[in-house]
Structures are given as C-alpha cells and as structure tokens.
C-alpha cells in the first residue's frame, strides 16, 4: 500500500495510468487471457494500419496489444 501513496509526477501520470489499467485487466482476466487478447489486438491493429484511413487507430491498437502481451508474459 505504500506504493499507492507516493505522488506520481504530472508528466509521467498518463504512463502510470496506462500501466495501472493493464495491471487491473490482468488481475481480472489472468495472464494468459491478457496475452491472447493482446495478440488479437495486434492483429486487428495491423489490419487497420493496412487500410490507411484508420491507421492512427491501428497504431494505437498495436501499441496497446504489445503492452498487454509484455505485461502478460512478465
């Protein structure tokens, strides 16, 4: 509980929030399901990148999928 009482610098807050969100997802679903969900998001993101019109959304999905896969394995 001492880690949650530390103050997070304002510039690092978005990264901290994403990491906490991923941790919550893993606690609720489990490591294996998170890794599989991450792989699915990577595949969907790559498909969206190929369509060119939805490339920004595809890049975001690939990044989020990679974070889920990395978090699922470690």
Q: Where are the domains of the chain?
A: 26-74
* Percent of the chain at pLDDT exceeding 90: 43
Q: How far apart are CA 18 and CA 6, in angstroms?
A: 17
Better-predicted residue by pLDDT, 42 or 28: 42
Percent of the chain's residues with pLDDT above 70? 93
Q: Give the pLDDT score at 27.
A: 78
Query: pTM for the complete prediction?
Result: 0.64
> Under a CB-based contact definition with an 8 Å cutoff, are residues 58 and 46 in contact?
yes
- Can you list the pairs that 62-67 forms with residues at least 24 positions away whose Cβ atoms lie under 8 Å? 64/38, 65/37, 65/38, 65/39, 65/40, 65/41, 66/38, 66/42, 67/18, 67/22, 67/38
| Mean pLDDT on 19-26 | 85
């Amino acid at each position: 509980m001492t880690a949650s009482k530390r103050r997070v610098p304002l510039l690092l807050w978005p990264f901290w929030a994403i990491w906490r969100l991923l941790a919550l997802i893993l606690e609720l679903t489990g490591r294996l399901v998170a890794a599989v969900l991450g792989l699915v998001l990577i595949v969907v993101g790559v498909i969206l990148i190929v369509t060119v019109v939805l490339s920004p959304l595809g890049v975001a999905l690939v990044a989020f999928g990679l974070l889920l896969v990395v978090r699922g394995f470690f």
